[in-house]
């Protein structure tokens, strides 16, 4: 009897599972990174609620909520990596929260701030702008969901792991939120509204594109750094507190243009570099 028990599989072990049956994953989720994800989701929900209120202060609060969601989203992944508490469940939960905070919320905010109060020359033109606003918002949401799904499968750029492929969804939402926070008053001119919708579509296309953006994931926060870096970070925080409208809009704009500029520079260098066949000609 003792010898016959040797090699017997324990109940519940992976090898004892029946063929063709999926294995059950571990129950539970890591609390610390999930708290930041829940905070991200709460900010997105509050932003949507504020948009429905409709006042100027409410739209500004929605923009601020999206900004805080970006901050919480930056922390949840880093905390998970620092505490070695990453999981597939947490990854999917974070993506679902990002669809709310960086897809639905900024798309609704862009419409409420840039289209809803527009006074057009005629009723027909006004209806067309509303239709364009609806389509631009859906395009933004669609590209956001596509960007998150692609990141879950492909991750960072394969040749350089500290680059994102396409504009990250928090940065895209940050462009919308920073503009609303800086200007405050909703748009009323139809041609300015068309420019705004053009910007929204451009941001959406950049999320879908293969343009690379720096991810800052190579920064080792737990290691020692120069005191100059500490001073610069402190000055940046102080500038955001005192002049949040101008500083946040500048940060969002510079990051948005950084990927496009780097892409154009690489293309110019590639054209100027002589090919192998041309060198032997």
d(CA 232, CA 228): 6
User: String of b and e for 149-183 (b: at least 16 CB within 10 Å)?
Assistant: eebeeeeebeeeeebbbbbbbbbbbbbbbbbbbbb
d(CA 252, CA 69): 15
CATH number at residue 163: 1.20.120.1760
Q: Which residue has the higher pLDDT, 219 or 188?
A: 188
What pLDDT does residue 272 have?
A: 76
**Would residue 270 count as lying in a domain?**
no
Residues 122-142 have pLDDT tens digits of 655 556 888 899 999 999 999
User: String of b and e for 52-75 (b: at least 16 CB within 10 Å)?
Assistant: eeeeeebbbbbbbbbbbbbebbeb
**Would residue 161 count as lying in a domain?**
yes
CA 78, 81, 86, 91 torsion: positive or negative?
A: positive
- In this structure, the chain runs to a length of 281
Closest CA to 116 of 54, 184, 195, 66: 54
What pLDDT does residue 153 have?
A: 87
Inform me whether the pLDDT recorded for 91 exceeds 80: yes
**Would residue 176 count as lying in a domain?**
yes
**Residue 161 pLDDT grade (very low, low, confident, very high; cuts 50, 70, 90):** low
**Would residue 97 count as lying in a domain?**
yes
- For the chain, the first-to-last Cα distance in angstroms comes to 82
- Cα dihedral: 240, 242, 243, 248 (round 10): 10
What pLDDT does residue 218 have?
A: 59
Q: Which residue has the higher pLDDT, 84 or 195?
A: 195
Average pLDDT score, the chain:
83
Mean per-residue pLDDT for 186-197? 92
**Would residue 71 count as lying in a domain?**
yes
Query: What is the number of structural domains in the chain?
Result: 1
Residues 25-66 have pLDDT tens digits of 455 566 777 899 999 999 999 999 999 998 999 999 999 999
**Would residue 39 count as lying in a domain?**
yes
**Would residue 157 count as lying in a domain?**
yes
Provide φ and ψ at 29, rounded to 5°: -150, 150
Domain that holds residue 190: 29-215+224-264
Inform me whether the pLDDT recorded for 1 exceeds 50: no
Looking at the chain, list the stretches that DSSP marks H as alpha helix, in order from N- to C-terminal side: 31-53, 56-82, 88-99, 105-114, 123-154, 169-183, 190-208, 227-242, 244-272, 276-280
What pLDDT does residue 156 have?
A: 65
**Would residue 7 count as lying in a domain?**
no
Mean per-residue pLDDT for 261-280? 74
- What angle (nearest 5°) sits at the alpha carbon of residue 173, between those of residues 172 and 175? 70
pTM for this prediction: 0.81
């Amino acid at each position: 009897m003792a010898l016959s028990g040797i090699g017997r599989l324990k109940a519940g072990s992976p090898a004892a599972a029946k063929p063709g049956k999926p294995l059950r994953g571990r129950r539970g989720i890591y609390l610390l990174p999930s708290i930041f994800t829940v905070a991200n989701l709460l900010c997105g929900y509050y932003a949507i609620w504020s948009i429905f209120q409709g006042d100027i202060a409410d739209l500004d609060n929605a923009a601020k909520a999206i900004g805080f969601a970006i901050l919480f989203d930056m922390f949840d992944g880093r905390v998970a990596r620092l505490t070695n508490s990453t999981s597939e469940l947490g990854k999917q939960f974070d993506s679902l929260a990002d669809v709310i905070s960086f897809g639905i919320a900024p798309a609704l905010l862009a419409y409420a701030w840039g289209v809803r109060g527009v006074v057009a020359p005629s009723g027909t033109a006004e209806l067309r702008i509303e239709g364009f606003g609806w389509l631009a918002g859906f395009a933004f949401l669609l590209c956001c969901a596509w960007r998150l799904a692609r990141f879950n499968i492909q991750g960072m750029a394969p040749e350089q792991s500290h680059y994102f492929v396409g504009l990250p969804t928090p940065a895209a939402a940050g462009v919308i939120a920073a503009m609303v926070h800086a200007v405050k008053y909703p748009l009323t001119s139809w041609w300015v509204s068309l420019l705004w919708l053009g910007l929204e579509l451009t941001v959406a296309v950049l999320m879908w594109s293969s343009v690379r953006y720096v991810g800052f994931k190579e920064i080792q926060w737990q290691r020692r750094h120069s005191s100059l870096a500490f001073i610069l970070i402190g000055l940046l925080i102080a500038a955001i507190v005192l002049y949040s409208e101008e500083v946040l809009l500048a940060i969002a704009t510079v990051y948005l243009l950084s990927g496009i500029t780097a892409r154009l520079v690489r293309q110019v260098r590639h054209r100027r570099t002589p090919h192998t066949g041309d060198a032997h000609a």
